[in-house]
Amino acid sequence: MTHQLFGQTENIFGYKDLRIQLYYSSTRLAVYLNHNYSEKINPNQYEGVKADNVIKAIVDTLEIQPITSKDEFIKELAKESTFKPSGNLIHSYSREREGSTSQFQVYKHDRMSLDSFREYHSRMQTFLWFFIDGASYIDTDDDQWLYYTFFEKEVEGSSTRYNFVGYMTLYRYYAYPDKIRLRISQLLILPPYQKQGHGAEILQAIYRDFVSDINVLDFTVEDPSDNFVRLRDYVDCKVCMNLPSFQADVIHKGFTHTMENEALEKSKIHKKQVRRVYEILRLRATDMSDAEAVKAYRIEVKQRLNIPFQKQKNELEKLKKVLKPEELAAAMQAVDTNERFKMLEKWYQEHIDAYRRVIGKLSS
């Protein structure tokens, strides 16, 4: 992701054997930044051309005030055990990690009310530049943002450390007529803690945090990555597979409003996501050796995938009344039946592949 710091070519001009040191302390997220090199271009020898200002590029993009002295940074490390997370503790859980049991905690911040958390957030959000493509900072002066931070609680004798694991942001949108729609905007879990089930644990904790809130209608997600889509599918399937309307003996009868209502009541799952969950769980309950059952499933999924094409067809019917014959012929060329069938089959196979990955995780 260094193209977000140094441009698409990811080149730094003017140095030989350049090494950049960017360190974060594990609890307070104190930042150390420096660099060294064996040789740097001399502007006097190259018509005034100067080497890139590496430190300035990083500082300006990350919007940080780093420590540049290693001795000062070491002094800061001595303060690590004094750090305590701010916010309200909403969930604790444990994980087996490296042969021992580790404790983890999730904290909620309703708004950027504390200056100490504002400063902490300014440091933790800098990780976005290294792990999320197209990263950007949010407007922390907007009180509609919600923040959740995750920590590993590490106890050694009388000392307790809270190692930063990651964070999530949500935005409160208006939902007609008098509700709030929560949109998940950012979720970051640092690499040492990935693929350990933290994402699912955290998402379920946030669902529980709002399930009894009558002002919240449902959850949506802003431009989710493929990994987050899989995470959300897994968590929502875990919720719905225990609901009466999603049981194997009834799910083959088709999608119903009862499914929407049960999923909304249980975990405030958005109706479009409920439909996706239904398709995953119905595939899970389908006997793949039963050709008729497989065909019925395929037709139902493709009927949903065909909705955009059906809308396009309806629009063409309207255009017939207003377009000249040559204009209509040009428009009709854009709707090739064979191409549409190929596209539907491609989309169907992509969905099935994604669904099977979720089913595999549900079965593990």
Q: Which two tokens stand for residue 38?
A: 């064996």
Catalytic residue among 222, 327, 339, 350: 222
In order of 78, 85, 177, 346, the CA distances from 141 in angstroms are 32, 21, 26, 44
Backbone angles phi, psi at 38, to 5 degrees: -90, -20
Q: Is 154 left (phi over 0), alpha (psi -120 to 50) or beta?
A: beta
Over its C-alpha atoms, the chain yields an Rg (Å, rounded) of: 26
Active site residue 154: no
In single-letter form, the type of residue at position 27 comes to T
**How many other C-beta atoms are found inside a 10 Å radius of the C-beta of residue 212?**
7
Burial degree of 87 (CB within 10 A; 0-12, 13-18, 19+)? middle
On whether the CB atoms of residues 347 and 301 are closer than 8 A, the answer is no
Going by DSSP bridges, is the β-strand pair 216-221/159-175 parallel, antiparallel, or unpaired? unpaired
CA distance 305 to 314: 16
Q: Are 77 and 87 in contact (CB under 8 A)?
A: no
Alpha carbons 233 and 257: distance in angstroms, whole number:
19
- C-alpha closest to that of 127 among 205, 191, 56, 199: 191
Cβ-based burial of 11 (10 A; exposed 0-12, middle 13-18, buried ≥19): exposed
Q: Which run of H or E residues covers position 131?
A: helix 128-131
- Which residues are tagged catalytic? 222
